[in-house]
A = this chain, B = another copy of it.
Amino acid sequence: MKRTRIADVLHKWQVIGAGSMVNLKGWVRTKRGNKNVAFIALNDGSIIHSIQIVVDLAAFDEATMKLITTGACISVNGILVESPGQGQAVELQAKEIEVYGTADAETYPLQKKGHTLEFLREIAHLRPRTNTFGAVLRIRHAMAFAIHKYFNDNGFYYLHTPIVTGSDAEGAGAMFRVTTLDPVKPPLTETGEVDYTQDFFGKATNLTVSGQLEGELGALALSNIYTFGPTFRAENSNTPRHLAEFWMIEPEMAFYDITDNMDLAEDFLKYLVRYALEHCMDDLEFLNKMYDNEL
């Protein structure tokens, strides 16, 4: 059977139709129940909400059911039904379950309880499975798409400005050096400096701190351009306001005056906020509740 995304089941179940057989695949968030029935919360990352899988234990092998613990990866065929319980419109009555991967309850670190961000930092490979990082990643996706859509719909062209460069824009910050020279004994000039003519590009290069210079040249030919790519700052400043690597948006427009600039900034930000409210409400509600109730 072809898999259905849980986001589609939860948002479009009336189109799919109660009573339909669907296949869901994902990772188990929790399992609870009694000796007759098990309730599995299954999540596939397509949406912050998990769907409830109802398992009539009489119809399933006990050994298989033991493998279904938090973190396990399973595939379920079942009947989509309207849910009698609160907090969910539909649930799935399991008919077949296949276990793709197990997660040892003793060692799998993402259990039902909340985890601190500091703890999650130590299991970076599992962070996207948490509600918090899932929400952030889905919102970041939506915002990235909205950025491209806004500029595309408004006649701007997207420029991929260079990442490795010999320029430092307008001296925007400390830079990372990019090199393939021998790290211990680099070739030196007669005056004892590094001889960058022998480096990969034949000159000293660094990671870009801004695509502005190339963006301005693009605007002086294509009128309206924007960049949206990674930029780098080697400031050794460990605060929430500094990142060594971050993605930055830079629009550059020929023939704009200060009023045009202000109108663009205002219209752009309003568009992004509106897009987030229309497309990310589930995730915003979660972050609003858990992290900042002024979102």
Point out residues on A near B: beta carbons under 8 Å. 3, 5, 7-8, 25-27, 44-46, 75, 125-126, 128-129, 133-134, 137-138, 140-141, 144-145, 148-149, 152, 155, 157-160, 162-164, 174, 176-181, 183-184, 186, 188, 192-194, 200-201, 207, 217-218, 220-224, 229-230, 232, 234, 236, 244-245, 247, 254-255
The answer on a CB contact under 8 Å between B229 and A230 is yes
Would you list 18 pairs from A and B whose C-beta atoms are within 8 A, ordered by A residue?
Answer: A5-B155, A44-B254, A45-B157, A46-B224, A126-B221, A128-B217, A133-B221, A137-B159, A141-B158, A144-B148, A148-B148, A164-B207, A164-B232, A174-B180, A176-B180, A177-B179, A183-B186, A229-B229
User: How far is the CB of A163 from the nearest CB of chain B, in Å?
Assistant: 5
Given contacts A45-B157, A46-B222, A129-B220, 18 further A-B contacts (CB under 8 A): A25-B254, A75-B255, A126-B217, A128-B222, A137-B157, A137-B159, A140-B160, A141-B159, A163-B207, A163-B245, A164-B232, A176-B179, A176-B180, A178-B178, A181-B183, A183-B194, A184-B188, A184-B193
A192 vs B7: C-alpha distance when bound (angstroms)? 55
The answer on a CB contact under 8 Å between A200 and B244 is yes
Q: Is the interface of A mostly helix, strand, loop or mixed?
A: mixed
Assembly stoichiometry (copies):
2
B46, B144, B224: the one within 8 Å of A158 (CB): B144
User: How far is the CB of A237 from the nearest CB of chain B, in Å?
Assistant: 11
A68 vs B293: C-alpha distance when bound (angstroms)? 59
A145 surroundings in chain B (CB, below 8 A): 148-149, 152, 158
